[in-house]
Amino acid sequence: MTNSFAHVLGKGGFGTVYKGKLPDGNHDVAVKILLESKGNGEEFINELASMSRTSHVNIVSLLGFCYEGNKRAIIYEFMPNGSLDKFISENMSAKLEWKKLYDIALGVSRGLEYLHNRCISRIVHFDIKPQNILMDKDLCPKISDFGLAKLCKNKDSIISMLDARGTAGYIAPEVFSKNFGGVSHKSDVYSYGMVVLEMIGATNIENVEHSGSNNSSMYFPDRIYKDLDRGEIMRIFGGQTTEDEEKIAKKMVLVGLWCIQTNPSHRPAMMKVIEMLEGSLEALEVPPKPLLFLPATVAETTEDSNETSSFANSSQFERGTLQATEDTLRFSNKEVQIPITGSATE
């Protein structure tokens, strides 16, 4: 299928993805070869179990798999435009029109709502990030890479977890510390909010000049709220925008901020996110500031920022792999200062 693995599409924490063709020679596919040394095959089973339960325009389709001894491969539909991260720049609107950005955000929200509410079993993805959102020939977004996903009963609200999982910069606070609340489908909502803010460039520290401040380490939620208070939110995006584009941008900012609330119960469910995106801008209120401000550069300060991390058990937190203290988040021996405006349990 892959012509002896001639065309590499990408590499991740669990293996390499190659371009291939089905035996009929007419259909392009993506073939993920999982690393032999990766655990006991949990990621492989997770991905098959999750993808085999899905059928949605915003979820990548599973076409087949191979499981022969320790050789494991997953075959799914080929996405000619690659992943969303390839379209993200300092000012994403320079590469994609605002309406297209909105359509992508809406498509991802519909895919997540389907996973959370309309599958046979609720599926929590746990690794929503631009690298795991693939784009078809029409730039329709499709959620992929279910290696860290968890299947749970539809009525389960809190998920029991023995390990923290996800990618630096997109992990919800409760995933790495139970002090912030219980892990649930709302953890995907947080990751989605981070992706939306990254899509529109709101997380880019270099993108905005701050009058009266030379503090380049200002955290992006704080910056956004200050610009909202001043009525200068469009400074984030730079350039000229039409009135309609400004409404789209503001709506996406507000939705993103609601999704990254520190307390999981304060975040909207994905069905509500869709309603917010499809509704009027005037109906959206400005959310309260999150208690925990994760800086925009978390992913950039981690050497393997595009790699997915899964920690074996909670004792690793105590050993320093991932520690939340009063003012520091330590992730894989990388330290990032985090101002906390209130108690984590408030």
C-alpha Rg value of the chain to the nearest Å? 20
Token pair recorded at residue 112:
């997540």
- Exposure of 231 by Cβ count < 10 A (0-12 exposed, 13-18 middle, 19+ buried)? exposed
Q: Which helix (H) or strand (E) holds 237?
A: none
Phi, psi of 92 (to 5 degrees): -60, -30
* Residue list for the binding site: 32
Q: Which helix (H) or strand (E) holds 220?
A: helix 220-230
Token pair recorded at residue 224:
């956004």
Q: Which among 156, 236, 249, 239 has a CA at the least distance from the CA of 196? A: 249
CA angle (327, 329, 334) in 5-degree steps: 130
User: Does the annotation count 127 as an active-site position?
Assistant: yes
CA distance 111 to 118: 10
Token pair recorded at residue 320:
């320093």
* Residue list for the binding site for ATP: 32
Phi, psi of 18 (to 5 degrees): -120, 150
Catalytic residue among 103, 127, 145, 227: 127
Q: Which residues are catalytic?
A: 127
